[in-house]
Amino acid sequence: MSTAATPNLHLEDQVCFALYSAARAAQQAYRPLLDELGLTYPQYLVLLVLWEQDGLTVTALGERLHLDSGTLSPLLRRLEAHGFIARERADVDSRRVLVSLTPAGDALRERAADVQRCLLEAVTLAPAELLALRDLSRRFVGPEA
């Protein structure tokens, strides 16, 4: 279809379009499940991090998710308004904002396990293919990320 000298510009051949479509398809698969928890997908990702390690700063959350404060500040404000997290300035350095789970936020953890199960059932790829997709995607992000 094309040579190295003339890269093809067909939509269907584009790796990045496939990634772009797959990422949105993933969010759409999550949406009905997360709706029941009152969460969006990025909010769910924040909780995934906090369930692993509570009490992180906004910057630390951003490093894990590759998001900056411009995205996280309003997102965390909504999570707080929904009662899932609390934010407080650190004593030692009042520039830092420590994000911690409320009991309600911690309680979501069990229900989130069901979300994972439902999603795995909906996916048509074989387990080994999912692992391959995950690892290729991670390496696409960068050698170190």
Partner DNA sequence: CTCAATTGAATTGTGCGCAATACTTTAGGC
Partner DNA sequence: GCCTAAAGTATTGCGCACAATTCAATTGAG
Name residue, tokens 């769910």: 44
89 - beta bridge partners?
97
Stated as kind and residue range, the H or E segment containing 85 is: strand 85-89
Task: Please state the closest distance from residue 141 (CB atom) to its own copies, in A.
Answer: 5
17 CB neighbour count, 10 Å cutoff: 12
3-state secondary structure of 82: coil
Q: Report if residue 117 touches its own copies, rule: CB under 8 A.
A: yes
Q: Binding residue for DNA (CB under 7 A) from 19, 37, 40, 133? A: 40
Q: Binding residue for its own copies (CB under 8 A) from 23, 90, 104, 107? A: 23
What does the binding site for its own copies look like in residue numbers (CB under 8 A)? 6-11, 13-27, 29-30, 41, 45, 48-49, 51-52, 64-66, 109, 112-113, 116-117, 119-120, 123-125, 129-143, 145
